Structure 1
Amino acid sequence: MDRVSLTRDYLARVVESGAKAGELTGDPQDSALLETFYSDRYLSRPLFLGHAEQVRLHTDLENLRQALASLPDRLFGGDFAAFARAVGLSEVQVAAVMRGRGPAVSRQTRADLYADGDGFKLLELNIGSAVGGMDNADLCRELLAHPALADFAGEHGLGFVDSLREQVNNIRVESGFGPGDSPVVALTDTPEGHAKMLPYMDALCARWREHGLDAHPAHLGQLQARDGRVWLDGRPVDVVFRAFLIGDLLKSPEIAALLDPLLDAAERGEVTIFTPLDSAAYASKGALAMLSDERNRGLFGPEELASLDRLLPWTRRVSRGPVTLEGGERVDLVDYTLANQQELALKPTSLAGGEGVLLGWARDLTPHQWREQILAAVDGPYVLQRRVRPTPEQFPDEHGDLRPWTCLWGVFTVVNGYGGAYIRATPTDSGSDVVNIATGAYAGPVLHQTRAAHEE
């Protein structure tokens, strides 16, 4: 079966039972991790993936990750600094990503995708430590407490990946520790981020400790590099888990000053940063534009190209001059963009969480405003991306009726392979164009078929 048929059959069962949203969500308040982050905004059902769909989606995402990892060598002769500049990082950011680089691109990623009638389309690929949603297993457990879903999951071989457990494994493996090791991990944000997120950071560290990490929340100002180690409250730190983003370096010179001694210590081998800042260059939307650019197709093999073609909407850096459209037509990029406002989104290359995104189809955006923003973005750290129209998903509401929601899939890759998935969603009629937890989206999990025998 596939996600469409699984959804159809499950919704038919829910409608027949008359179950309402409040009955189906379980009691997520039992999880301190969920309660501190999602503010009781939980979807009334999971989304589904058939076995073949899950395998192909993971294969496509892994092919895309490897293609991204190859870009510095394939396009820039191994010059990583040139690659970082080309994907839109500032000189301050380039200097940071060049320090303490990891031996390989992290396998911890979260792909943000819309599902349309043709499959999955990638909006962005988040790479490294600062990816949210890996607490989704708690959402799965709460929904599966309802007999209707538990019975349905059993009949169709549906299960989930404990993404948090995989996250702990990623930390150990990519930081050079073994399965039984208990490294001291400082879950580290900026001082501002730490103040805002401390309840969640406390809850997350408590869960990590259950899995064997000696984990503690921190901010950059609390870490001290001295005597050949990095210290937190008198405790030597083995791993700094980076919760802050590359964009934070541009918000305040104080952040760069706080980060500098930590990068020095990492370069001396006194501490490991999970994940190094170089992952931010690979995660840039400017790097996706390189994969989408038809001039680079000759760099990739048939399997890579097939994955890129399935996943990537048309994406280009904003610059003057001709580009090729999907059908092969050559057009001037700026002229085409101004004439096709409703079909394009303008996105900063290295910001996250929808920050700075300008949707050409936004209701209150005039052609004059669109033109101003496009011209200002020319040759800057921005990309244009083809609009993706997601297929709405139906969810039971508080009356038991089905209502359409717009869903953003977050699909993880990890050291062990497929890392699970979760959903952020808003009601389709809400008028919200950017789906984000920070702006009120609801959260839910994904169940996938774990046995190929259930494919029909």
Structure 2
Amino acid sequence: MNAVTEAYLAAVAAGRMPHEELAKAIRATGLHDAIYRNGHLARPLFLTRADRERLDADLRTLHGLLTGLPDRLFDGDAGAFAAAVGAQGPQVGAARTAAGQATTLSRADLYPAADGFKLLELNVSGAVGGLENSILNAAYLDSPHFAEFAAAHGLGYADTMALLGETLRGEAGDGSVVAIVDWPDSYPELEPMLRKTAARLTDYGIDALVGHAGQVECRDGAVFLGGRRVDVVYRLFLMEDLLRPGGPALLDPLLAAAARGEVAMFTPIASELYGSKAALALLSDERHRDRFDAAELDVVDRVLPWTRMLRPGTVTVDGEREDLPGYARRDRERLVLKATMLHGGTGFVAGWRTDPDAWDRELRAAEGGPYVLQRRVVPVPELVPEPDGTLRPWVAVWGAFLTGRGYAGTYIRAVAGTDAGAVVAGGSLTGCVFHED
């Protein structure tokens, strides 16, 4: 627990941080009616200045390492990299079309362990959730008691949405038209939220439209939505949509227009590959250590848990050579099984929450497929006050954003208790982070 957190909890205990005042400020945002349906965590989390500076540097390094893997390991062959991290069929072709394109927008999902933050995955996409987190920061500052605390401790926050707007303007310049484009199947449900996002972007000088891929027109050397020419497509559809029936027919014209420079794609569709868990396995694999310098290896060793593709053969574990399938069964309680390119907890199996027979069945079904094994991270729980002032432990995933400016705010998802495997199971509450300026 850092000094700011200790001071905050002391203020709660002394009655200087009224629970209902804070809760009222958060409810007034309307976020939990429109977006974060499960509710909010009862306090913000805090970063010291030193921790924020280290997190900023580590995020920059990890992003650079992952986006540099095609050059370092595959001689620049984007298709070979795509296949290695689990892309299939039209996805490989899309990766080749978008070769060389990347974006700094990403969200690193991290656990705070006893020796620092550990990376669970890096989402390199504009479709990541939590971009609205700074609304929660602003709401806390509407509470007079919290505003006084923040001023006394020199606390500020990164406005993720403002930094996103800055990034979007950089894609095509001021006065550009941005189309937020979803997949047709999910658009009817998400449209109200997307319109709220578009309205927020206007606060940052972005002329934003919303629609789905079936409404986009590619003609006359340009891209249109609702009859308006578009400068930037803010992509919410996913690379996995290329594997749906009719997916390539719907998306190929738009991807080709982006490759010809007729529209900017934010983020390029191949950027998702850098967030594949298989990319983390490539970065973690001891066979590739000679491709990185000492400073880069320090970040990999300190931040990235041991991660390997689930394949027959031997690997190095804690300095010893091990048969991977045998090790996976023997060390079940310290391992997690994850699908390489799925999201939202799909394909996630926590070894310590699974009996040996069920774990064995999961391993047999996944072996040789698009799955990784990752060493379990034991997070340090956050103490959160109940309405009566008692403290309860919560496990929080820190979703730390990165843009071209560096660290860009954090979206918190948390569940009560101490079991890290429960966060991905759904029902988590949301929160935000303040840092020392």
- Residue 445 of structure 1 pairs with residue 437 of structure 2: no
User: What displacement does 1:359 show?
Assistant: 1.1
- Residue 128 of structure 1 pairs with residue 117 of structure 2: no
- In structure 1, runs of 5+ residues without a counterpart are 451-456
CA distance in 1, matches of 2:376, 2:158: 31
Letter in 2 for 1:433: G
Summarize the alignment of residues 190-201 of structure 1 with structure 2, pairs less than 5 Å apart.
190-201=183-194
- Residue 373 of structure 1 pairs with residue 362 of structure 2: yes
3-state SS of the aligned residue for 1:98?
A: helix
CA distance in 2, matches of 1:349, 1:419: 26
CA distance in 2, matches of 1:46, 1:242: 30
Of 52, 71, 74, 1:73 maps to: 71
- In structure 2, runs of 5+ residues without a counterpart are none
CA RMSD of aligned residues (A): 1.8
What CA deviation, in whole Å up to 9, does each residue of 1:261-298 have, x standing for no partner? 21122122221111111101111111111111111111
Of 185, 197, 210, 1:204 maps to: 197
Of 259, 284, 289, 2:281 maps to: 289
> 2:218 aligns to what?
225
Aligned residue pairs total: 437
- Residue 261 of structure 1 pairs with residue 248 of structure 2: no
Of 400, 420, 429, 2:389 maps to: 400
Contact 1:221 1:258 in 2 (8 A): yes
Contact 2:176 2:206 in 1 (8 A): yes
User: What displacement does 1:34 show?
Assistant: 5.2
Higher mean alpha-carbon deviation, 89-98 vs 50-59, is at 89-98
3-state SS of the aligned residue for 2:185?
A: helix
3-state SS of the aligned residue for 2:129?
A: coil
- Change in CA separation of 1:256 and 1:89 when aligned onto 2, cut-off 3 Å: same
User: What displacement does 1:92 show?
Assistant: 2.6
User: What displacement does 1:200 show?
Assistant: 0.9
- Residue 188 of structure 1 pairs with residue 181 of structure 2: yes
Contact 2:179 2:230 in 1 (8 A): yes
- Change in CA separation of 1:31 and 1:105 when aligned onto 2, cut-off 3 Å: same
Letter in 2 for 1:45: R
3-state SS of the aligned residue for 2:410?
A: strand
Of 169, 172, 189, 2:169 maps to: 172
> 2:346 aligns to what?
355
Q: TM-score, normalised by structure 2?
A: 0.96
> 1:453 aligns to what?
none
Contact 2:183 2:212 in 1 (8 A): yes
Letter in 1 for 2:9: L
Identity %, equivalent residues: 46
Contact 1:412 1:419 in 2 (8 A): yes
User: What displacement does 1:222 show?
Assistant: 0.9
> 1:279 aligns to what?
271
> 2:410 aligns to what?
421
User: What displacement does 1:315 show?
Assistant: 0.4
3-state SS of the aligned residue for 1:323?
A: strand
Letter in 1 for 2:33: E
CA distance in 2, matches of 1:391, 1:350: 27
3-state SS of the aligned residue for 1:409?
A: strand
CA distance in 2, matches of 1:344, 1:272: 40
Contact 2:178 2:230 in 1 (8 A): yes
User: What displacement does 1:353 show?
Assistant: 1.7
Of 152, 157, 162, 1:160 maps to: 157
Summarize the alignment of residues 24-173 of structure 1 with structure 2, pairs less than 5 Å apart.
24-32=22-30, 35-39=33-37, 41-101=39-99, 103-173=100-170
Of 301, 304, 308, 2:293 maps to: 301
3-state SS of the aligned residue for 1:17?
A: coil
Q: TM-score, normalised by structure 1?
A: 0.92
3-state SS of the aligned residue for 2:186?
A: helix
What CA deviation, in whole Å up to 9, does each residue of 1:9-65 have, x standing for no partner? 110111110755433234334435553101260112111111111101110111111
Letter in 1 for 2:191: L
- Change in CA separation of 1:266 and 1:88 when aligned onto 2, cut-off 3 Å: same
Letter in 2 for 1:359: A
> 1:385 aligns to what?
374
